[in-house]
Structure 1
Amino acid sequence: MSAIPSPSLANIDRPLTSISISALCFLSWEYCITFGDEVKYIWSKPYDSPIKWLFLLTRYVGLGSLVGNRFIGIGGNNPTISCRGFLTYQVTMSEVLVTLVELILMIRVHALYNRDRRIAAFLALLLAAGKVVAIIGLDSTVSTSHFNEICGVTRIDTPLAYFSFSTVMVEGILLILTLVKCIRTFQATRHSIPIITLMVRDGTMGFLAIMSILIPTSLFLVVKHGAFVSIMTPWFLAVLSCAGCRLIINMQHLSPDNYLPQTANQTFALITSQIIIESTNTDFHEIR
C-alpha cells in the first residue's frame, strides 16, 4: 500500500504544482508571442543550418519537458515512475537545455572572434570540462537524494553544487569573452556596432536570468542540504528555453545595413541566423 501524504506534505504539494503550472504558462505565453518570428526567421532556414536546429531543440525540449512534468506527476502521483526516476528526468532535461544554450552562446563568441581556431578549441575544451563536472555532480545528486512521500527532495548528501558551479563557470567565461571583444572593437573604431552591442546585451541578460534561478537553487543545496530543491526546476527549464530562443530571435531583428562599418581597417565577425558576415575594410562576403 502506498504511503498517504501527511497534511503538511499535502500543503507542500499544492505550491509545487502551482509553480510547475506557472512556469508552463509563462513558456506557453512566450511561445505564442514569438511564434510569428519563429515562422519568419527559423522555418525558412535550410535543414543544414545549425542555428535552426539549436532553436527548435531549445524551444521544444523546454516546452516538452515542462509538459512532461505534468504528465509524470510533480508530486510523485504517477505510480509507474519512482521518485529517483522523476528526479533523473528533471536533471537530464535541465542539463540538455543548459548545453543547448551554451552552444548558442559559443557560436556567437566564435563568430565574434572571426572563427579563430584557437577560440574554437578553447570553447570545445570549456564545454567538455563543464559537462564532465556537471554530469558527475548530477549523478551524485540523484544517487544521494532522499525523498518524502510526495517525491519532494528532503536532503541531498552531495557536498557541493557541481551543476551550478559548472554552469556559472562556462557562461561567465563566455560573457567575459564577449565583453572583451566589445571593448576592443569600441577602442579600435570609436563607435558602437549594433550587432556587438546586441550580443553583449543579450548575453548579459541571459546570464543574469539564469543566475536568478541558479543562486536560489545553490542556496537550497548548501543551506537546506537540497531540501525541496526541485521546486526551482520548472522555472529553470522555462528560463533556459526562453533565453536560448531569444538569443537567436533577437539577432534576426537587425537589418544587414546595421552591420556595415563606419571606418576602415576593421575585422570582426557577425552572426545572424545561418550566415556569418566577415568584414575586412569594406569587403563583405557570406559563409553558410
Structure 2
Amino acid sequence: MAGTATSAVAQALRLHHYLYLAPLTFLYWDHLLTFGDEVRYIWNRPKTASAYCFLLNRYLAAFGGVAVTVFSYHEIPESWSDPCPDFNRFRQILLIVNQVTVCLLLTLRIHALYGRDKRIISGMLGLGAVLLAVSIWAASRARGTPQRGEPGCNIADSRHVAIMIAIPWEAVFVYDVMIFFLLSYKSLHMQRDSSLRWAQIPLLTLLMRDGSIYFALMAAVNLANILTSYIAPPLLVSCLSTFASNLSVTMMSRLMLNLHAIESAGIFSTRTRCATESDEYEDELDTLRTEDLERSMRLSQMSTPIS
C-alpha cells in the first residue's frame, strides 16, 4: 500500500510539473516569436502609456515565471520546509496579479470601445475592486501542507484550502463573463444599428474582431482551473492556473502588438479605418484579433487617413 501511495504521489507531481512547464514554455516561445514585432512597434517608437502597459503585462509574467521555476525545482533543505506554504501563496498571488493586469488593460479597451463612457468604467472598476478585495482575503487564507520527500516545494492542499485558492479564480471568471457580455452587446448593437455594409459582415467576424470569442476561451480555461479545486486530488489543486494565466498574458500581448502596429496610441486608441474584402468601413478600433501582424499591417495599409 505504501508503495502504491508513493507511486500515486509521484504521478501527481509529475503531471503537475508537466502542466506547469508546458504553458511556461508556450509563454517564452511566443515571446521569442513576437520579439521582432515588440522591437519594431514598442522599443523603436516613442514610449506611450500603452507601451508601458504592454511592457508591464509582458515582463511581469516573464520574470515572475523565472523566479517561481527556480524555487519550485530547487532542492530545499529540511530546515526550509516551513516557507513552502508562503512560497505557494506568493505563486498564487503572482498569477492573480498577472490576471488583474490583463483585466485592467482590457477594462481600458472596453472604456475606449464604449466611447469613454464614465458609467461603464465606473461600474467595471467598482466590481473589480470588490472582486479584488475578496480575492486578497481568500489568498491570505490559502495555506497548504508541504509535501516532504520530493525535490522542490510541493504543496498538498486540503479541500478547505483548495476552495480558498479557487475564489480568486472565480472572481476572474466573473469579470471575464462581464467583459464577454459587454463586447457581445457592442457587436450585436453595431450590426443591428449600423449601415447595410455593417449588416453584411458576418456576426462571427464581428465577434472575433471585438474579442468576445477570446473572452469565451479565457472564461472556459478559468472555469476548468476552478473545477480542479473541487474535484482534483490535493497535489493537483489549481494545476491549470499557470496555463490560464500565461494564455491570457500571451493573448493580451498579441492584442496590444496588433493595436500598436496600426496606431501608436495602442490600447487607448478609439478610431481607425478597417477594410473588408469587398468594402471599407470606419469604426472604433475594437479588434482583439490574434492573427499574424503581417496581415494586420496589410489591413492598415489598405486604410485611408481619418478625416
Shift of 1:200: 4.8
1:12-31 map, 5 Å? 12-31=12-31
CA distance in structure 2 between the aligned counterparts of 1:88 and 1:211, rounded to whole angstroms: 23
State the secondary structure of the residue aligned to 2:52.
helix
Normalized against structure 1, the TM-score is what? 0.77
CA distance in structure 1 between the aligned counterparts of 2:127 and 2:46, rounded to whole angstroms: 29
Shift of 1:148: 2.2
Equivalent AA in structure 1 for residue 46 of structure 2: P
2:216 maps to what in 1? 208
**Which one is further off, 210-219 or 93-102?**
210-219
8 Å Cα contact 1:63-1:238 kept in structure 2: no
State the secondary structure of the residue aligned to 1:103.
helix
Alpha carbons of 1:87 and 1:284: their partners in 2 closer, same or farther (altered >3 Å)? Answer: same
CA distance in structure 2 between the aligned counterparts of 1:155 and 1:32, rounded to whole angstroms: 38
Alpha carbons of 1:174 and 1:237: their partners in 2 closer, same or farther (altered >3 Å)? Answer: closer
2:156 maps to what in 1? 153
1:102 maps to what in 2? 103
1:52-71 map, 5 Å? 52-71=51-70
1:177 maps to what in 2? 182
1:192 maps to what in 2? 198
**Which one is further off, 196-205 or 122-131?**
196-205
Query: Structure 1 regions of 5+ residues with no counterpart?
Result: 273-282
Normalized against structure 2, the TM-score is what? 0.73
Equivalent AA in structure 1 for residue 36 of structure 2: G
Alpha carbons of 1:168 and 1:8: their partners in 2 closer, same or farther (altered >3 Å)? Answer: closer
8 Å Cα contact 1:164-1:218 kept in structure 2: yes
Q: Choose the corresponding residue for 1:250, options 255, 258, 269.
A: 258
Shift of 1:172: 1.0
State the secondary structure of the residue aligned to 1:258.
strand
8 Å Cα contact 2:113-2:284 kept in structure 1: yes
CA distance in structure 1 between the aligned counterparts of 2:41 and 2:187, rounded to whole angstroms: 26
CA distance in structure 1 between the aligned counterparts of 2:215 and 2:286, rounded to whole angstroms: 19
Q: Could you say what the CA RMSD is over the residues aligned between the two structures, in angstroms?
A: 3.5
Equivalent AA in structure 2 for residue 42 of structure 1: I
CA distance in structure 1 between the aligned counterparts of 2:259 and 2:252, rounded to whole angstroms: 12
CA distance in structure 2 between the aligned counterparts of 1:199 and 1:67, rounded to whole angstroms: 35
CA distance in structure 2 between the aligned counterparts of 1:199 and 1:58, rounded to whole angstroms: 24
Equivalent AA in structure 2 for residue 89 of structure 1: F
Query: Structure 2 regions of 5+ residues with no counterpart?
Result: 264-271, 288-304
Aligned length: 265
8 Å Cα contact 1:134-1:163 kept in structure 2: yes
Shift of 1:111: 0.7
1:77 maps to what in 2? 75
Q: Deviations over 1:206-239 (max 9, x none)?
A: 3234234322322221224754225323323321
Q: Deviations over 1:165-199 (max 9, x none)?
A: 211111111121111112112222133399x9567
1:228-267 map, 5 Å? 228-253=236-261, 256-258=272-274
8 Å Cα contact 1:62-1:238 kept in structure 2: yes
State the secondary structure of the residue aligned to 2:215.
helix
Q: Deviations over 1:145-181 (max 9, x none)?
A: 2342242324241456311221111111112111111
1:275 maps to what in 2? none
1:280 maps to what in 2? none
CA distance in structure 2 between the aligned counterparts of 1:77 and 1:215, rounded to whole angstroms: 33
Alpha carbons of 1:16 and 1:56: their partners in 2 closer, same or farther (altered >3 Å)? Answer: same
CA distance in structure 2 between the aligned counterparts of 1:23 and 1:271, rounded to whole angstroms: 27
State the secondary structure of the residue aligned to 2:285.
strand
